[in-house]
Amino acid sequence: MKYQKILITGGAGFIGSHLAEFFLKKKCQVTIVDNLSTGQWANIQHLENNESFSAVISCVTDEKLMDDLVREHDIVYHLASAVGVKLIMEKPIDTINTIFQTTDTMIKKCSRYRKPFIFTSTSEVYGKLDKEMFSEDSDVLLGCAEKHRWAYAATKAVDEFLILGYHSQTNLPVYITRLFNTVGPRQTGQYGMVLPNFVERALRNETIQVFGNGEQTRCFCSVYDVVRALAQFPLSPEAIGKVVNIGSQQEISIKNLALKVIEKTGSSSQIELVPYSKVYGAGFDDILKRVPDLTRAQNLLQWSPEYSLDAIIEQVIEDKKIAKTP
């Protein structure tokens, strides 16, 4: 690999733990920093005895610690963030502060020591845009500030502006990816993520709640594909200072996703349609469709997703079955 010492914030989280594993397999040295707020020690416990791996359990806003860590590493992947609609609706203050302050700290340190910086933004940034496909240079349409749901997207969008500001003002090599729904082993359903939630309920033969009329569609991309894309960014000079969508284009309605999970688990679960207002209060905006334009990912990173939705669902089911086994 071009870079040997990799620092990953949010590395005990779902995507971060897979990214750490990926680089360890490539014989890199990996340090993760995580405060275990939504991440879990169990996600990285199996790496503990690897002498190329270090875990620092701390907050990314610890200036002194991050100064030392950034200086000692070759490249920074900044994944630490508050994640999940449920968390955002319940804790808007923490969400906004975490997303902005962690990015502000990390980009400042990267600028000081001239370290390449990779940032995981989100497809939420496109907001309520009504388009067949979302392209990185399209305008965005966020909902109003009175709806907490948009706090996540708005703050990630500010982070994007800040990071691109460092690039244009100081020439720092920065890379931004807008991830669309990413799924796979180790993702928890605890914060409102749909696929692990459905699988956990199906395995317990419990009712699966589908919000709205269930006709809203999403494209689910394997975490293994996403990690491969993340690793490719710093090897692609044309991607410096760019925003690149990463996700799948295989669309499925949420109701059909629930049916697929029930079929694949052989579950006796029933589906219950629940109005958004009952879950998130009145005036919750959902997005009906969210498909990434992957032209940039293909041209700049030579990347496209490889895992099918069926394969991904089967991997998640296997993972949840193991987690259930005492």
Asked if 118 interacts with ligand NAD (CB under 6 A), we say no
Asked if 34 interacts with ligand NAD (CB under 6 A), we say yes
Binding test (CB under 6 A) with ligand NAD, winner from 120, 222, 265, 269: 120
Distance linking the first and last C-alpha atoms of the chain: 39
| 325 CB burial (10 A radius; 0-12, 13-18, 19+) | exposed
Q: Tell me the site size for ligand NAD, rule CB under 6 A.
A: 28
Q: What is the CA radius of gyration of the chain?
A: 19
Q: Choose between 205 and 304: whose C-beta lies nearer to ligand NAD.
A: 304
* Catalytic positions: 152
In the complex, minimum distance from the CB of residue 182 to ligand NAD, in angstroms, rounded to a whole number: 4
The contacts of residue 169 (CB under 8 Å, 6+ apart) are none
- Number of other CB atoms surrounding residue 130 within 10 Å: 8
Q: Is 149 left (phi over 0), alpha (psi -120 to 50) or beta?
A: alpha
Alpha-carbon gap, residue 319 to 303, rounded angstroms: 26
Quick one: tokens of 143? 């909902």
In the complex, minimum distance from the CB of residue 268 to ligand NAD, in angstroms, rounded to a whole number: 29
The CA dihedral of 77, 82, 84, 87, to the nearest 10 degrees, is 170
The one segment of 178-186, 198-206, 233-241, 276-284 that binds ligand NAD by CB under 6 A = 178-186
Alpha-carbon gap, residue 172 to 264, rounded angstroms: 47
Binding test (CB under 6 A) with ligand NAD, winner from 103, 155, 182, 269: 182
Binding test (CB under 6 A) with ligand NAD, winner from 4, 37, 135, 253: 37
Q: Choose between 20 and 262: whose C-beta lies nearer to ligand NAD.
A: 20
Asked if 111 interacts with ligand NAD (CB under 6 A), we say no
The one segment of 6-14, 126-134, 255-263, 264-272 that binds ligand NAD by CB under 6 A = 6-14
Query: Which residues contribute to the site for ligand NAD (CB under 6 A)?
Result: 9-10, 12-16, 33-39, 59-61, 79-81, 83, 98, 102, 120, 122, 179, 181-182
